[in-house]
Structure 1
């Protein structure tokens, strides 16, 4: 199908395992253009994008924006869990787009927030009244763990990148300390991502086995299946520890960023745990801040189930960039 030049933008969500690419017309993802690629089958993003554009009749895109699961600095993105380096020159060469941008994946989720449909949000802690331009926070738990804060200013939205998953995991009691010491044997540091990303489930499960003198390694998918079936008490205890740590970390981020506009949990692990957050005490762990426990009532928490949110966020960011360029 021949597409009109400069009518569309290319957007991509690059994870540690898969890359999704689509065309966007303004803020709208074009129906039927979303394609998924397994990263292990390609040497880099440029090859993926060239193959994608060829499948779309080499459409002439006005802009291109990609969301990267890793740190982005000075227009260069480096995936945390994959040896891919992505820069604006490569993105421009691969897409021939006039305007290009690279975001951290949580930044893209932040740009998508105001475009989410109500049915894609599941309330965990009810949202108190807030002004429309209040600061918001996105927290991602999936292959990795990270957060991004969304600020509304007179010049538009600002979503600074972060690498929150590589800060120290919280230690609230003696058991947490033992877990931290167990986790740090992997690479010398007990980071938040080491217990709250997908592999974190596996490490918590292994640690509980170590505590009980019956070590057994189980994949995260199997842990979640056993939890759903009620067939493994250790899987349930793993979930209980996970939810408590998640609530503690998200509470810490809330106090740091003051997101009175709401906190939004995204990512495969966060979505999988949505049915269990109330059962295993997320709310209590979130509010467990001593004399500031009452203050924590200022923050609402929701789980986002929109699988295309990062793509929409890329499209939204591009619209703002192109509009800003047109003003000069």
Structure 2
């Protein structure tokens, strides 16, 4: 008996800077079909998808899922760092798909857990105890923006909850933190986590560190990371140390809120850029510095996801799971 070919799905990872699009079958992404588009110069997601499908030979699409870097409310997503709105109806019209979903990009990363190659998971903070397979997991994204999602696996399947925790208040534990908060809040009247722990946030953090040192530097994120890597600039060193300490603090706070005994996973370009610097800047110590609850914080392992296409895989799994 000849097996019928599984229907095609279209999956898209819509970030603040770029959009990745691919085809999938049976919950698996076709690596050869992946394409990346710059968001600049495009009026929205629909023209990108139409271009992609035309160049792919206009295949028949049964399902479509878009992971969006912004809040999603009743199937309507608004990008946090780009003036785009994406909804289910537009996604269905652009692709011809009957089964469509619009989810937050961190939710997509959560759906990808368990479907990421082992060599794309780099351990960062270990624990003395083994992972608890049925326990919640936490995905924390640090890139153009900052956000997190919690992953719950149960008898009814996987549930990945959405949030916008990048816009929670930046933690303040010292006079230096208060100075940073006052510096950052001049831009929008409020100092949120994402205002420091993101690509643009890194630039604000460096500008603050430069001011504290009596300098007037204006470096972009890539130049700042290069300076941190050289280990020869006091302002860059102060920037890196503050960034890693604050990321450890926020990640530890999220861990105590959600109790992810199944593991914590850092994703995103900025999170990965700091891979060589977490240990020397004390990420683990900042993550576990929770007073009498430090031993509880030490029970949560942390890894880095080194897979640029994990969100696409998560979209494919989301469609396959129904």
Q: TM-score per shorter chain, which class?
A: over 0.9
Alignment match, 1:62: 62
What's the CA shift for 1:228? 1.5
Alignment match, 2:12: 12
Alignment match, 1:247: 248
CA 287–208 in structure 1, closer or farther in 2 if over 3 Å, else same: same
Contact 2:123 2:304 (C-alpha < 8 Å) held by counterparts: yes
Residue 16 of structure 1: SS of its match in structure 2?
A: coil
Contact 1:108 1:310 (C-alpha < 8 Å) held by counterparts: yes
1:87 aligns with 2:81: no
Alignment match, 1:31: 31
Q: Which runs of 4+ in 1 moved over 4 A?
A: none
Contact 1:150 1:157 (C-alpha < 8 Å) held by counterparts: yes
1:41 aligns with 2:48: no
Alignment match, 2:182: 181
Alignment match, 1:312: 313
User: Superposition pairs for residues 148-297 of structure 1, below 5 Å?
Assistant: 148-297=149-298
Residue 294 of structure 1: SS of its match in structure 2?
A: helix
Contact 2:132 2:262 (C-alpha < 8 Å) held by counterparts: yes
Gaps of 5+ in 2: none
- C-alpha distance in 1 between matches for 2:113 and 2:231: 34
Contact 1:17 1:38 (C-alpha < 8 Å) held by counterparts: yes
Deviations 1:154-210 (A, max 9, x none): 111111110010000111111101100000001100000001011111111111111
Deviations 1:37-66 (A, max 9, x none): 111121111111111110111100110001
- C-alpha distance in 1 between matches for 2:267 and 2:209: 26
Contact 1:5 1:62 (C-alpha < 8 Å) held by counterparts: no
- C-alpha distance in 2 between matches for 1:211 and 1:260: 39
- C-alpha distance in 2 between matches for 1:279 and 1:231: 14
Gaps of 5+ in 1: 322-328
RMSD of aligned alpha carbons: 1.2
Residue 138 of structure 1: SS of its match in structure 2?
A: strand
Q: TM-score, normalised by structure 2?
A: 0.96
Matched length: 318
